């Protein structure tokens, strides 16, 4: 098992009110698998993904990665782990505007200590793979929305992470572009043997994935856990 969430709860303090955003969530992700998390707005999807990526701390419960409880790690250890083992894809690409597509994809590798030459070579290969061989030197503002998300996907895979966490990766795209990006994610999952957890509010896109979990008011639908 690659990642396991055990009895995960997240409570936010909202003035004198407590907001229980995640309520006893249990979930496992196997190495190389692909699953969707769906649920209405405010059901806790992003919060769950943030807890899985160590960007937010659960109020109780634990997140285990390859058997290790990530909440025990220091922020430096978490940052290093995220850089090497976790890829993130967001609804809005979060690419660095002043850098080219190639440089954006090389960046996580340079942070990991890979040489510039090697990082650029891998970035080029990844960008070719996502269909952007002709766009290596373009900056984000010179790319379409779908192209930017392809760069963000290539960047997420740059350090060959074992897990990619994607929060509404197609939420900002038109239907046909969204479908193409989803198809690309399905292909990459098979080719790279990377696990993907994809948050989406689009049930028809989620249906393309082998497994879907539904969050409802911070709880996972238990019936689906064993489907
Ligand atoms: N840092 C925070 N402090 C207080 N409340 C928060 C915080 N982060 C999220 N929330 C609240 O937690 C609830 C769940 O938010 P979350 O973003 O996880 O939902 P979501 O399912 O991803 O929603 P959407 O589909 O609209 O993005 C919301 O009511 C939100 O306002």
Residue 52's nearest CA partner among 213, 224, 192 is 213
Q: Residue 68: inside a domain, yes or no?
A: no
Q: Are 163 and 1 in contact (CB under 8 A)?
A: no
Question: What is the strand order of the sheet 211-216 is part of?
Answer: 86-89, 163-167, 195-199, 34-38, 211-216, 219-220
Mean pLDDT of 96-112: 97
What pLDDT digit, counting tens, does each position of 12-37 carry? 998 999 999 999 999 999 999 999 99
CB within 8 Å of 11: residues ≥ 6 apart? 18, 19, 20, 21, 59
Q: Residue 212: inside a domain, yes or no?
A: yes
Cα of first residue to Cα of last residue in the chain, in angstroms, is 17
Q: From the CB of 217, is ligand 1 less than 6 Å away?
A: no
Q: Residue 7: inside a domain, yes or no?
A: no
Q: Residue 122: inside a domain, yes or no?
A: yes
What is the model's pLDDT at position 224? Answer: 55
Q: Residue 21: inside a domain, yes or no?
A: no
- 226 has a pLDDT exceeding 80: no
Nearest atom of ligand 1 to the alpha carbon of 50: 18
Q: How many CB atoms lie within 10 A of CB 52?
A: 25
What is the model's pLDDT at position 44? Answer: 95
How many independent structural domains does the chain possess? 1
Here the tokens at position 159 are: 């350090």
Distance in Å, CA 55 to ligand 1 centroid = 14
Q: Residue 107: inside a domain, yes or no?
A: yes
Q: Residue 62: inside a domain, yes or no?
A: no
What pLDDT digit, counting tens, does each position of 77-92 carry? 999 999 999 999 998 8
- Three-state SS at 19: strand
Which residue owns the Cα nearest ligand 1 atom 30? Answer: 42
Instruction: Please state, in angstroms and rounded to a whole number, the distance separating the CA atoms of residues 23 and 219.
Output: 5
What pLDDT digit, counting tens, does each position of 120-138 carry? 999 999 999 999 999 999 9
What pLDDT digit, counting tens, does each position of 188-223 carry? 999 998 999 999 988 999 999 999 999 999 999 755
Q: From the CB of 39, is ligand 1 less than 6 Å away?
A: yes
Q: Residue 2: inside a domain, yes or no?
A: no
Judge if ipTM > 0.90. Answer: yes
Distance in Å, CA 128 to ligand 1 centroid = 36
Q: What is the CATH number of the domain that holds 162?
A: 3.40.50.300
Question: What is the strand order of the sheet 17-29 is part of?
Answer: 17-29, 3-14, 60-65, 68-69
Q: From the CB of 19, is ligand 1 less than 6 Å away?
A: yes
Give the chain's mean pLDDT: 94
């Amino acid at each position: 098992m690659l990642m396991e969430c055990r009895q995960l709860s997240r409570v936010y303090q909202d003035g004198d009110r407590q907001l229980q955003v995640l309520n006893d969530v249990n979930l496992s992700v196997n190495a190389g698998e692909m699953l969707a998390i769906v649920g209405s707005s405010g059901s806790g999807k992003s919060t769950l993904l943030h807890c899985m990526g160590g960007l937010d701390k659960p109020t109780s419960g634990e997140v285990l990665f390859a058997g290790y409880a990530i909440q025990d790690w220091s922020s430096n250890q978490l940052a290093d782990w995220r850089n090497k083992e976790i890829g993130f894809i967001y609804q809005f690409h979060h690419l660095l505007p002043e850098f080219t597509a190639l440089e954006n994809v090389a960046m996580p590798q340079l942070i990991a200590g890979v040489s510039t030459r090697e990082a650029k070579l891998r970035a080029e290969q990844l960008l070719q793979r996502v269909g952007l061989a002709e766009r290596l030197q373009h900056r984000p503002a010179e790319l379409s929305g779908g192209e930017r998300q392809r760069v963000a996907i290539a960047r997420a895979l740059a350090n060959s992470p074992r897990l990619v966490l994607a929060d509404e990766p197609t939420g900002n795209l038109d239907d046909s572009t969204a479908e193409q990006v989803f198809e690309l994610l399905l292909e990459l999952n098979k080719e790279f043997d990377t696990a993907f957890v994809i948050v989406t509010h689009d049930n028809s896109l989620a249906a393309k994935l082998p497994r879907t979990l539904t969050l409802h008011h911070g709880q996972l639908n238990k019936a689906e856990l064993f489907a």
